[in-house]
Structure 1
Amino acid sequence: MRRWEGTLEGGRITDEGTVIARVRAGEPEAYAELVRAHTAVALRAAVAFGAGADAEDVVQVAFLKAYQALGRFRDGERFRPWLLRIVANETKNTVRSAVRARAVAGREALLLGAEPRIPESADPAVAALAGERRGLLLAALGELSEDQRRVVVYRYLLEMDEAETAEAIGCPRGTVKSRLNRALARMGRLIGAAEGGGERD
């Protein structure tokens, strides 16, 4: 057995199945490869789901729970959607009903840390408009139902494809499409209302 089969390439693991098999075979230190490969996206997910300042704690607990449940991980399944499902559930357990009450400004500040900064040379008017637009998007995201918010976060903030989103949510791809369509339509109405006054149905 080649010890380093499945090592990281550009932040991704070339063969997660091999790494998971090594952990199951009694090589727990191999789990660090999965942690390194998925920490950034797990943190982004925790923040997007409303963990705020608790995001790092949520991610640490999620990785621990994933490690403890690795024996039940199905061969052939992708690790990232499975992990992000755990992150989403742990975020929900941590913040419970406080997700909707969390200030949009606080969530925006945390999300900005994971995004590229606008270059100083950029036109200030363009930068201000981009910041205002981001604020409107985050406010609209906060008004969605939990199911709709999850599908938008997975598809657009975490840049997961439709199949991965369906795996992470645990539903058919058709459900992802319908939830996404309803969520985007609602967000469009909310943003239009914020820009022009009054939500239109």
Structure 2
Amino acid sequence: MPSEVALDDEEFVTRAQAGDLEAYEFLVARHTAAAYRTAVLLGAGSDAEDVIQEAFVKGYRRLSRYRGESSFRAWLLAIVANETRNLHRSRERRNGLLLRAARLSAGAEATEDGAVGAVLAGERRAALVRALRLLPAKDREVIVCRYFLDLSEDETVTMLGWPRGTVKSRTSRALVKLRGLLQVEEVSRG
């Protein structure tokens, strides 16, 4: 993230902490897309909007606790990740189902044009999402943070609340697992 964005975030956080609701609304607008992607990719599916709304409300209530030790974005995405985990726990209790993974939007595939390149890209994306769904939750979380959300290692540490060494080792192992799953799928299709 460019440093001027981080500086802007710091300014708006300070204003929001002083009671400026418009400043917080600006932060919400700036980080909604990343929060939504985080919720979807961590398995919120169709509940992603509810998850991020709850995360933004909790973020506002906890704004006085934000100390700037990490970027505001990482701090906020950690709340989104926690809300997504809460959703998973409630789904398990309510339905007794396994964790649900992120889904591709049916509308995105329906709007693809007939070009071969677009079809192949869609198939590769679908294969990646299927493989991602097969990873254990913690492996999926670290892959989503590092590669889908493009978070730095420090931001991933903050968001997941794991030690740096755990983030490094789990990222490495998860990538190996993901590559293996993609290779198995490619062999089975070919």
Question: Shorter-chain TM-score: which interval?
Answer: 0.7 to 0.9
Alignment of 1:104-143 (within 5 A): 107-109=103-105, 112=108, 120=113, 124-143=115-134
- Equivalent AA in structure 1 for residue 50 of structure 2: D
Quote the residue 2:22 is aligned against.
Answer: 29
In terms of mean alpha carbon deviation, does 174-183 or 93-102 score higher? 93-102
Are residue 175 (structure 1) and residue 166 (structure 2) matched? yes
Return the TM-score normalized by structure 1.
0.79
Quote the residue 2:80 is aligned against.
Answer: 87
Write out the 4+ residue segments of structure 1 that deviate beyond 6 Å after TM superposition.
none
Are residue 60 (structure 1) and residue 74 (structure 2) matched? no
- Equivalent AA in structure 2 for residue 147 of structure 1: K
| Alpha-carbon distance change, 108 to 24 in structure 1, aligned in 2, over 3 angstroms | same
SS across alignment from 2:105 = helix
Question: Which protein has greater RCO, CA pairs closer than 8 Å, 6+ apart?
Answer: 2
Residues 81 and 159 of structure 2 are in contact (CA less than 8 Å); yes or no, is this contact kept in structure 1?
no
In terms of mean alpha carbon deviation, does 21-30 or 158-167 score higher? 21-30
Residues 38 and 80 of structure 1 are in contact (CA less than 8 Å); yes or no, is this contact kept in structure 2?
yes
Tell me how large the CA RMSD over aligned residues is. 2.6
Residues 44 and 84 of structure 2 are in contact (CA less than 8 Å); yes or no, is this contact kept in structure 1?
yes
* Cα displacement (A) at 1:126: 2.2
* Cα displacement (A) at 1:171: 2.1
Residues 100 and 142 of structure 1 are in contact (CA less than 8 Å); yes or no, is this contact kept in structure 2?
no
* Cα displacement (A) at 1:25: 1.8
Structure 2: gaps of 5 or more residues: none
Between the two proteins, the alignment pairs up a number of residues equal to 179
Are residue 50 (structure 1) and residue 16 (structure 2) matched? no
- What percentage of residue pairs aligned between the two structures are identical? 45
| Alpha-carbon distance change, 181 to 165 in structure 1, aligned in 2, over 3 angstroms | same
Quote the residue 1:19 is aligned against.
Answer: 12
